[in-house]
Amino acid sequence: MKIAVLPGDGIGPEIVAQAVRVLNALGQKFDLEEAPVGGAAYDVAGHPLPPATLELAKKADAILFGAVGDWKYDALARELRPEQAILGLRKHLELFANFRPAICYPELTAASSLKPEIIGGLDILIVRELNGDIYFGQPRGIRTSELPLFKGAREGFDTMHYSEPEVERIGHVAFEAARKRGKKICSVDKANVLESSQLWREVMIRISQEYPDVELSHMYVDNAAMQLVKAPKAFDVVVTGNLFGDILSDEAAMLTGSIGMLPSASLDKNNKGLYEPSHGSAPDIAGKGIANPLATILSAAMMLRYSLGMPAEADRIEKAVQKVLAQGLRTADIYTEGTQKVSTVQMGDAVVAAL
């Protein structure tokens, strides 16, 4: 089983190192191969996603990804910036289905901005389409305007785009996921304004007929942003496009108060996937040894379950993480009075010991 290990920038290397230790502690043989990605790859190879890294990602059975991005690359042209690596991997590997669970761990309820009665016990799943929408739609660019009103001025434009087959494939993935959970799915769009959303909604309604056991509802994205704040537990599975999913999955993650705990998976149609923490590269705390490795460790567990067919090993990791939380161990981001503050490595130690 070949796993591409792409640590990336900022805290990426520190947190991925702990996830690798945990994988190695399972007592299984994994073929782990590391490659640079993001700013780290730009530094050594002049491109955030060098051909060798892409090749490795293609031939691996799964990818364990840290995070990319650092202010020091802000001045680079867009196509050389670290984020292009993650966009490139998603597109080249056709990782169209992004699973972003938003879970509020009972031990961490107090870390949330929200009142415990609103957020406690939250367990929702955001399924974000990852290969289409305004992220990749053509045409796009900056040009001189031909519009009568703005003639001669510069204008920037992008195309939001969804085709029926694209909506169908993410729809089926989301309905299947809902079927294994609370059997409720909320499709989020802006169909009162956007044509692409109108198509999106139509297709969701059509394919819902194949899932009579799953209850489909629709919500406009502005309302979804509100309802997540007001009553997040009313959701089960949320399915939405790339741009709305970007915004709502981050909002939902932050609502839990434990974004340092939340894994994510980005899958292709054969369940090959890229696994990364929901949080970013946090360059401000990089190298200090205080980052929370649990989201990455839990991403490795998702990898075992979805891509490598090793659900028992995934369970073992998830139980080990629960155990260290129950032991009261906390990295700085989730620390509250009465618990024990530990470093990145100490957290890794504890998970390995708990296995």
Ligand X SMILES: CC(C)[C@H](C(=O)O)[C@@H](O)C(=O)O
Tell me which residues are annotated as active site.
Answer: 135, 190, 222, 246, 250
In the complex, the smallest distance separating the C-beta of residue 150 from a copy of itself, rounded to whole angstroms, is 4
Residue by residue, DSSP assigns 82-94 as THHHHHHHHHHTT
Q: Round to whole Å and give the CA distance between 194 and 49.
A: 33
253 neighbors 81 (Cβ within 8 angstroms): no
9 annotated among ligand-binding-site residues: no
Q: Write out the residues near a copy of itself by the rule CB under 8 A.
A: 78, 81, 83, 87, 113-115, 118, 134-135, 137, 140-142, 145, 147, 149-150, 153-166, 190, 192-200, 221-223, 225-230, 243-244, 246-251, 253-255, 259
Contact (CB, 8 A) for 209 and 235 = no
142 is in an annotated binding site: no
59 or 72: CB nearest ligand X:
72
Judged by beta carbon, residue 73 or residue 306, the one nearer ligand X is 73
Burial level of 287, CB count in 10 A (0-12/13-18/19+)? exposed
Residue 134 phi, psi dihedral angles, 5° rounding: -70, -10
User: CB of 99: closest distance to a copy of itself in angstroms?
Assistant: 17
| Cα separations in angstroms, 113 against 61, 117, 119, 290 | 38, 12, 9, 21
Which of 80, 87, 118, 247 lies at the binding interface for ligand X (CB under 6 A)?
87
90 belongs to an annotated ligand binding site: yes
Q: From start to end of 271-350, where are the E strands?
A: 273-277, 329-330, 340-341
How far is 136 from 220, CA to CA, in rounded Å? 22
Residue 142's binding partner among ligand X, a copy of itself, none (Cβ under 5 to 8 angstroms by kind) is a copy of itself
- Residue 182: helix, strand or coil by DSSP? coil
Distance CA 310, CA 297 (A): 15
Pick one of a copy of itself, ligand X, none as the site partner of residue 86 (Cβ within 5 to 8 A by kind): ligand X
Residues forming a β-bridge with 240: 128, 188
105 binds, among a copy of itself, ligand X, none (CB under 5 to 8 A by kind): none
Q: DSSP 3-state assignment of 341? A: strand
Q: Is 192 in the site for ligand X (CB under 6 A)?
A: yes
Residue 225 touching ligand X (CB under 6 A) = no
Residue 74 counted as an annotated binding residue: no
The Cα 162–Cα 86 span in angstroms is 21
Candidate ranges 46-54, 83-91, 204-212, 345-353; the one touching ligand X (CB under 6 A): 83-91
Q: Which is nearer to a copy of itself, 33 or 222 (CB)?
A: 222
For ligand X, give the closer residue by CB, 95 or 185.
Answer: 95
Residues of each annotated binding site for substrate: 90, 100, 128, 222
Using CB under 6 A as the criterion, which residues of the chain lie in contact with ligand X when the complex forms?
Answer: 83, 86-87, 192-193, 222, 246
